[in-house]
């Protein structure tokens, strides 16, 4: 402060000396003017001095917190400016650079469009719209994925130099994956080779599986999908959440590269209490696997192998419905078809019926009505226990071109005869599932039949065959008898029997929960039929 005063004083004296010399010849005339000007100059610099003194005092009064805040604001401004540098990149060159870096890092042939933007939130990333992925065919690359939104998250290091841009991870949103038999090797090769340790995140997307005629066989929706190579476990990791038709599922898959190459798969459909675990290896150019299929508290264990377009599997120490089960089958992939033969030494029929809710859930999704689904399933049981009517059974379940039937199934009573199911169907009517079936009960022993159902002698008539048609609403648990004939008689039913059927079918609460309910129903039918 003393230096400032001293300098101002010297400057003031200099100005006064100059003025005195200039006006020396007119000393008297300008004496008053000099004095006034001198006073004005002195007042001006005194005011300047006082102002600077005030500002200095104010500056020395700023707290350390405020100084730190000013520093942080300044640093933030510089940081944001640094992060914004990629917005100045040459977009034409960036389009090519990003494509090359994605191919080098992820081994994926991205076709980046010119719709490129840059954003710093939530972290620095390059946003590209309408991107495509092509397979690795160098001569005629084919489109395998369509991506609406692609975000490429980049490292904050070296943003000044476009050539040193580094990718951290990629985020794919709203994509369509097109899978055909012709390009399935592209997907298999991709997931079976080591993935990048940098994550690929996919959301809100769909997988379309098409047949050789380019028709869509099935659609799987993807809620969340994560792919990456786990450097600690030395394994490819795939974690997927999605929907198979309307059934939500979770899938975890990994392939271990540490020593003997192994794959593990876990698929869960919690809504229907279904889970499958799979452990596999690749030997002698064949895919060998051991699987556990868990439905509720029941477990099926089986081995299978994949050879070309065929999957062959056999049972291995499986337990179902409290009894041993043996089964074998095959799945053809092109076109898709399933053949499955199941043999049970014995079966608890009541326990078997507990699986009907699971079957209902599948039917509700319309998954089993898929026109591209073809399968033949047979369930053979040599002995049925805890059931007073049937001793053995064989059930056929057929899926063909969107239609389901149980044709040629039968239930056998060793003392009475066999009930055969002829024409049948499971149909969706007014958004409700209805089973329709024509049954033919061939009676070998009439006396055993009447004794079993305890039909009064006055209501007994000669009987060798009973033909009846049933309609059962599986959602509402409602049973209707459409027709009933004894000995294939062509004569019209009597009036009493017609009235009985009409009244029975009007009662929507008709249920057969046990053997007593069935006996009572059969007795009422014979009383009405006999007139």
**pLDDT at position 188 over 80:** yes
The residue ranking higher by pLDDT, 452 or 295, is 452
How many Å apart are CA 250 and CA 245, to the nearest integer? 14
**Among 47-56, 91-100, 253-262, 414-423, which is the least confidently predicted range?**
47-56
Summarize pLDDT for 236-263 with one digit per residue, the tens. 999 999 998 778 999 999 999 887 778 8
Q: Where are the beta strands (DSSP E) in 231-273?
A: 235-244, 247-256, 262-269
Summarize pLDDT for 24-81 with one digit per residue, the tens. 544 454 455 445 545 555 565 555 555 555 555 555 556 677 767 777 887 888 878 8
The rounded mean pLDDT for the chain is 80
CA 137 to chain centre: 29
How many Å apart are CA 297 and CA 308, to the nearest integer? 34
The pLDDT of residue 11 is: 47
Contact 148, 129 (CB under 8 A): yes
The pLDDT of residue 299 is: 75
* Paired tokens of 182: 């012709």
Beta pairing class for 392-400 and 403-405: antiparallel
Nearest to 375 by CA among 431, 420, 330: 330
Q: Which helix (H) or strand (E) holds 360?
A: helix 356-364
In DSSP terms, 228 is beta-bridged to 237
* Paired tokens of 448: 């055993």
Contact 375, 337 (CB under 8 A): yes
Q: Which helix (H) or strand (E) holds 297?
A: none
Domain definitions of the chain by residue range = 2-61, 90-272, 315-530
Contact 172, 149 (CB under 8 A): yes
Contact 407, 370 (CB under 8 A): no
For residue 527, give the 3-state DSSP assignment: helix
In DSSP terms, 520 is beta-bridged to none
The mean pLDDT value for 417-443 works out to 90
Beta pairing class for 374-381 and 336-344: parallel
In DSSP terms, 377 is beta-bridged to 340, 397
**Among 38-47, 97-106, 319-328, which is the least confidently predicted range?**
38-47
Maximum average pLDDT range among 160-174, 344-358, 372-386 = 160-174
Maximum average pLDDT range among 190-204, 360-374, 399-413, 475-489 = 190-204
Query: Which residue blocks in 107-210 are alpha helix, DSSP H?
Result: 184-192
Predicted confidence band of residue 348 (pLDDT cuts 50, 70, 90): low
**Among 90-94, 149-153, 189-193, 200-204, which is the least confidently predicted range?**
90-94
Can you state the percent helix, strand and coil of the chain, rounding each to 5?
30, 45, 25
Give 353: exposed, middle or buried? Use CB within 10 Å, 0-12, 13-18, 19+.
exposed
Nearest to 224 by CA among 173, 275, 168: 173
**Among 286-300, 316-330, 407-421, 497-511, which is the least confidently predicted range?**
316-330
**pLDDT at position 214 over 80:** no
**pLDDT at position 217 over 90:** no
The residue ranking higher by pLDDT, 1 or 525, is 525
Within a 13 Å sphere around the CA of 30, how many CA atoms are in the beta-carbon half?
A: 13
**pLDDT at position 319 over 70:** no
The residue ranking higher by pLDDT, 450 or 304, is 450
The mean pLDDT value for 172-183 works out to 90
How many Å apart are CA 373 and CA 232, to the nearest integer? 41
How many Å apart are CA 506 and CA 498, to the nearest integer? 12
**What are the DSSP calls for 58-79, one per residue?**
HHHT--HHHHHHHHHHHHHHHH
How many Å apart are CA 172 and CA 476, to the nearest integer? 43
The residue ranking higher by pLDDT, 449 or 508, is 449
Handedness of CA 482, 485, 490, 491 (dihedral sign): negative
Contact 176, 148 (CB under 8 A): no
Q: Which helix (H) or strand (E) holds 40?
A: helix 27-60
In DSSP terms, 254 is beta-bridged to 237, 264
Beta pairing class for 125-134 and 109-111: antiparallel
How many Å apart are CA 171 and CA 228, to the nearest integer? 12
Q: Where are the beta strands (DSSP E) in 345-416?
A: 347-348, 374-381, 384-385, 392-400, 403-405, 410-413
Number of Cβ within a 10 Å radius of residue 109:
19
308 Cβ contact list (under 8 Å, min separation 6): none
How many Å apart are CA 285 and CA 287, to the nearest integer? 7
265 Cβ contact list (under 8 Å, min separation 6): 251, 252, 253, 276, 277, 278, 280
% the chain with pLDDT above 90: 32
How many Å apart are CA 260 and CA 262, to the nearest integer? 6
**Among 1-5, 121-125, 312-316, 317-321, which is the least confidently predicted range?**
1-5
Place of tokens 């009985």: 500
**pLDDT at position 462 over 60:** yes
**Among 169-173, 377-381, 437-441, which is the least confidently predicted range?**
377-381
Contact 380, 343 (CB under 8 A): yes
How many Å apart are CA 405 and CA 400, to the nearest integer? 9
Summarize pLDDT for 128-146 with one digit per residue, the tens. 999 999 998 888 899 999 9
Query: Which residue blocks in 365-479 are alpha helix, DSSP H?
Result: 446-453
């Amino acid at each position: 402060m003393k230096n400032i005063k001293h300098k101002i004083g010297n400057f003031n004296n200099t100005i006064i000396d100059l003025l005195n010399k200039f006006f020396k010849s007119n000393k008297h005339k300008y004496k008053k003017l000099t004095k006034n000007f001198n006073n004005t100059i002195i007042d001006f610099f005194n005011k300047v001095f006082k102002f600077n003194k005030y500002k200095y005092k104010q500056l020395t009064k700023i707290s350390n917190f405020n100084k730190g805040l000013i520093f942080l604001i300044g640093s933030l401004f510089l940081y944001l400016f640094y992060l914004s540098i990629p917005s100045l990149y040459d977009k034409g060159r960036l389009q090519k650079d990003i494509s090359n870096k994605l191919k080098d890092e992820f081994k994926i042939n991205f076709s980046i469009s010119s719709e490129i933007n840059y954003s710093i939130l939530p972290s620095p990333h390059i946003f590209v719209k309408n991107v495509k992925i092509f397979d690795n065919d160098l001569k005629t690359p084919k489109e395998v994925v369509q991506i609406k939104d692609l975000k490429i998250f980049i490292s904050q290091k070296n943003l000044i130099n476009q050539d040193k841009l580094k990718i951290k991870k990629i985020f794919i949103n709203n994509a369509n994956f097109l899978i055909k038999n012709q390009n399935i090797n592209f997907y298999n090769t991709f997931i079976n080779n080591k993935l990048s340790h940098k994550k690929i995140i996919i959301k809100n997307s769909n997988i379309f599986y098409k047949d050789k005629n380019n028709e869509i066989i099935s659609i799987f929706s993807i809620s969340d999908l994560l792919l990456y190579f786990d450097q600690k476990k030395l394994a490819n990791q795939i974690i997927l959440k999605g929907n198979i038709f309307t059934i939500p599922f979770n899938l975890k898959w990994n392939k271990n590269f540490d020593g003997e190459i192994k794959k593990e798969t876990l698929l869960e459909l919690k809504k229907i209490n279904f889970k499958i675990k799979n452990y596999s290896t690749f030997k002698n150019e064949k895919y060998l696997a051991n699987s556990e299929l868990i439905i509720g508290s029941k477990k099926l264990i089986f081995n299978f192998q994949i050879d070309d377009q065929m999957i062959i599997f056999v049972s291995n120490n499986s337990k179902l419905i409290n009894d041993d089960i043996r089964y074998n089958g095959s799945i053809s992939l092109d076109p898709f078809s399933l053949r499955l033969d199941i043999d049970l030494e014995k079966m608890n029929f009541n326990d078997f019926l507990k699986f009907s809710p699971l079957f209902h859930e599948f039917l509700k999704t319309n998954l089993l009505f898929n026109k591209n689904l073809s399968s033949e399933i047979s369930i053979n049981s040599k002995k049925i226990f805890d059931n007073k009517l049937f001793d053995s059974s064989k059930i056929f379940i057929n899926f063909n071109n969107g239609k389901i039937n149980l044709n040629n199934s039968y239930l056998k009573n060793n003392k009475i005869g066999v009930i055969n199911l002829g024409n049948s169907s499971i149909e969706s009517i007014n958004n409700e599932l209805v089973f329709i079936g024509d049954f033919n009960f061939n009676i070998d022993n009439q006396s055993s039949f009447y004794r079993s159902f305890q039909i009064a002698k006055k209501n007994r008539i000669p009987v060798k065959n009973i033909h009846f048609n049933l309609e059962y609403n599986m959602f509402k648990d409602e049973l209707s008898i459409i027709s009933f004939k004894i000995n294939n008689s062509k004569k019209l039913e009597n009036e009493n029997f017609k009235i009985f059927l009409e009244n029975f079918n009007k009662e929507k609460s008709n249920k057969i929960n046990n053997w007593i309910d069935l006996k009572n129903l059969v007795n009422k039918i014979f009383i009405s039929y006999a007139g």
